[in-house]
A and B are shown apart, each in its own frame.
Chain A
């Protein structure tokens, strides 16, 4: 990177850490440390919710996903607005009126301590692992770009977050989220502008969009009903609703954000506006990926975007074979470019027959290029059998480093790191609050002073940060990161949501019934994961429905026991 990029990157990160430490100073009790004394307004809550959900994975993996698979991933978010409405009607007023610190505290009010403990442990397991992934993603970028040791990069990334999250708690997390979102928006807009600037001068924006559409990258909507199809309108609305409801209603990293609202209205406004702006934001990020795909129709792309792997093979016995495949791929890309230009020319003529012929010809050229690429990946795997054959996560990064001007490279990398820091900070903050409020203060040390609880909370934040860094070290073989995080979440979210839905809507069912039902439902989810091809979005439905149904069936048998 150029010196100016380093200055932009360092200044952005140092500012975030210093600002977080400064804004978070002075919390004397856990109400201040974990809930910012319930002082936040709707816009801070909105930005904090968005920053928590939009991790670096969003900006690294999502454009690459559109590049490879098209824009259909946007449907994944269709359940989110519905989830926001349900949360505002049910969860928000109850959490506010009960004055809880964590979502799981409510479960003891409603059921019993063991159900609260079970939900807390499921959350700590799932979120503890996910925190490692959110540190790993930008660490991977830095290690690839700068040739840094991945271990040290993870340590540096995690360490910066630990400093301000441990020292300032929720207040530091929420305030830094606002500035992190600003850096993220600026970075993504800059990348998009440069991408459009680099499209060939004789191709208009509209024509570029047509090329993306004709090559299957603008498939934003699919109304087909297929349980094995990962992203459709129906899986997005139904499966997505359950996932988002679980995430925003029962995941402490999000619940903690809107519990800081100074009133029910402020929390509701933050959530509802998130329901309106999240989908357009995801659409924009996916559209960047689709335009990146068009860009690489006119500019020969590397045969494989992970430069670490291509570097390895150049120093191996497969170097010559790989170079030959690179030459073939370059020729295939040139052939494809000619076909794309034919298609653009046909589109300009408006002649349907000519357009159809050009499309078929382009599809053949695309197939030939993909076949060569597959061969190259096979050679890469022969050289390094443990490598990840997917290079989705490197596509956007590769463009940034090769084509963005000096200064903007630093800004985009700062945006990606800021996104990672924002999610990790919220996760560590939530892991600490659950550990201290639901376990330490409730079970282990009931009579400590507020000062002692704040001290223990800071220690818990540091320990969870260290745990996340250790997990990040082993996260390099999980394929597309964004999917890995969502699949991991879906393994537990449905069950936790089921517990909460029974708590809210099935008032007669007691703690023991829901406790045993949660084990049965979790077993069903794990069965689906290990032994079926059902798309992960449906795990949330299985887990949630499992808890509701089994607890209803168990209720008559456990009724007396529950009452006694």
Chain B
């Protein structure tokens, strides 16, 4: 028989660390990607 998991809702809906909402984390990941592309572009050009 299938076993059901029943952790408390408070545990499932834990708030994100550091930021007030998950949008802060999503923005940070996006900003990191853009920064890396910019950095790699500068790297490519600097040693071209």
Residues of A within 8 A of B (CB): 29-31, 35, 38, 74, 78, 81-82, 84-85, 88-89, 96-97, 99, 209-210, 212-214, 218-221, 233, 262-266, 268-269, 272, 275-276, 279-280, 283, 441, 447, 449-450
Contacts and interface: CB of A to CB of B under 8 A. Distances in A.
Interface in B12-28: 12-17, 22, 25-26, 28
**What are the 9 A-B residue pairs with the smallest beta carbon separation, nearest first?**
A213-B47, A265-B14, A220-B40, A81-B33, A221-B41, A263-B14, A31-B3, A221-B44, A218-B47
B46 A280 contact: no
A218 B44 contact: yes
Contacts of A78: 33, 37
A97 B47 contact: no
Contact of B12 (A88, A213, A263, A450): A263
Nearest to B46: A213
A280 B40 CA distance: 10
Contact of B30 (A29, A81, A265): A81
A265 B13 CA distance: 7
19 contacts: A35-B5, A38-B5, A74-B40, A78-B37, A81-B32, A81-B33, A88-B25, A88-B26, A89-B22, A213-B48, A214-B47, A218-B47, A263-B14, A265-B16, A266-B14, A269-B25, A272-B29, A275-B33, A276-B28
A85 B7 contact: no
A269 B17 contact: yes
Contact of B7 (A38, A221, A280, A283): A38
B13 A264 contact: yes
Given A209-B47, A269-B17, A272-B25, A96 B30 contact: no
B4 to A, nearest CB: 6
A220 B43 contact: yes
Contacts of A218: 43-44, 47-48
Given A29-B3, A81-B32, A221-B37, 10 more contacts: A88-B25, A218-B48, A220-B43, A263-B7, A265-B16, A266-B14, A268-B22, A272-B28, A272-B29, A450-B3
A97 B12 contact: yes
Nearest to A220: B40
A280 B39 CA distance: 11
A78 B29 CA distance: 12
A40 B7 CA distance: 13
- The size bracket of the interface on B is 20 to 34
A208 B11 CA distance: 52
A264 B12 contact: yes
Contacts of B15: 265
Given A220-B43, A276-B32, A264 B37 contact: no
Interface of B: 1-5, 7, 11-17, 22, 25-26, 28-30, 32-33, 36-37, 40-41, 43-44, 46-48
Contact of B33 (A29, A38, A82, A209): A82
Contacts of B48: 213-214, 218
Nearest to B32: A276
B36 A280 contact: yes
Contacts of A272: 25-26, 28-29
A113 B3 CA distance: 20
B40 A262 contact: no
A221 B40 CA distance: 6
Contacts of A74: 40
B16 to A, nearest CB: 6
A452 to B, nearest CB: 11
B23 to A, nearest CB: 10
A210 B15 CA distance: 47
Nearest to A84: B29
Contact of B40 (A81, A84, A283): A283
B5 A31 contact: yes
Contacts of B40: 74, 220-221, 283
Given A81-B30, A81-B33, A276-B32, A262 B22 contact: no
Contact of A85 (B1, B12, B16, B30): B30
Contacts of A38: 5, 7
Contacts of A262: 7, 11
Contacts of A31: 3, 5
A279 B5 contact: no
A111 B9 CA distance: 27
B4 A279 contact: no
A268 B12 contact: no
Given A264-B13, A264-B14, A265-B16, A99 B43 contact: no
Contact of B5 (A81, A99, A275): A99
Contacts of A209: 47
A510 to B, nearest CB: 25
Nearest to B6: A99
Given A209-B47, A213-B47, A233 B37 contact: yes
A19 B41 CA distance: 43
B25 A212 contact: no
A256 B29 CA distance: 23
A225 to B, nearest CB: 15
B25 A268 contact: yes
A12 to B, nearest CB: 32
Contact of A268 (B4, B16, B36): B16
Given A82-B33, A221-B37, A88 B7 contact: no
The residue in A35, A99, A221 that gathers the most chain B C-beta atoms within 10 A of its C-beta is: A221
